Amino acid sequence: MLSKTDKELIKKAYDTVKHVSEREFGNVVVAHVGVALRTKKGNIYTGVNMECKCDIGSCAEHHAIALMIKNNEHDIDIIVAVDRNGNIVPPCGRCRELIYQVTHNHDVNIIVLHSKKVTLKQLLPKIWEETYYKDVK
């Protein structure tokens, strides 16, 4: 069940991607997805994705998280990604791992539907650990 503030965060993510006109310049295409995250301090950070024609790019989560870090915060309370059509987009595997590596918190809330949020642990039961590679070396 989503709260009023959760629904406001969805709107913020949607407004973020709608605010940036979908455009192409050079070899870069931006803004198919917008993200809004709220920290435990109550601050909201947003980002949009970026894709290049040569297949490099970054998810909107990366840009919102980078902005949060730039502001000396790392405790995400809740995060949501929304596409241009207003659909909720659950984070990809790379972003799930990034959220954990930045927060070290499996209880981060992630909105996955317009009516449902889950914890990061539900989406990412096993996290990357440096010890995985100690046996390989």
Q: Which residues bind Zn ion (CB under 5 A)?
A: 59, 92, 95
Residue for token digits 């590596």? Answer: 101
**CA 125 to CA 131: how far, in whole Å?**
17
Taking the complex as a whole, the smallest distance from the CB of residue 99 to Zn ion amounts, in Å, to 10
Which residue, 92 or 113, has its beta carbon nearer to Zn ion?
92
Residue 39 · residue 77 · CB < 8 Å: yes
Taking alpha carbons only, the member of 122, 103, 100, 102 closest to residue 111 is 122
Backbone angles phi, psi at 116, to 5 degrees: -145, 140
Which residue, 59 or 68, has its beta carbon nearer to Zn ion?
59
Taking the complex as a whole, the smallest distance from the CB of residue 137 to Zn ion amounts, in Å, to 28
- On the 0-12 / 13-18 / 19+ scale of CB atoms within 10 A, 41 is exposed
Residue 117 · residue 52 · CB < 8 Å: no
Taking the complex as a whole, the smallest distance from the CB of residue 135 to Zn ion amounts, in Å, to 28
**CA 120 to CA 62: how far, in whole Å?**
16
Which residue, 69 or 92, has its beta carbon nearer to Zn ion?
92
Which residue, 9 or 110, has its beta carbon nearer to Zn ion?
110
Taking the complex as a whole, the smallest distance from the CB of residue 136 to Zn ion amounts, in Å, to 26
Taking the complex as a whole, the smallest distance from the CB of residue 59 to Zn ion amounts, in Å, to 3
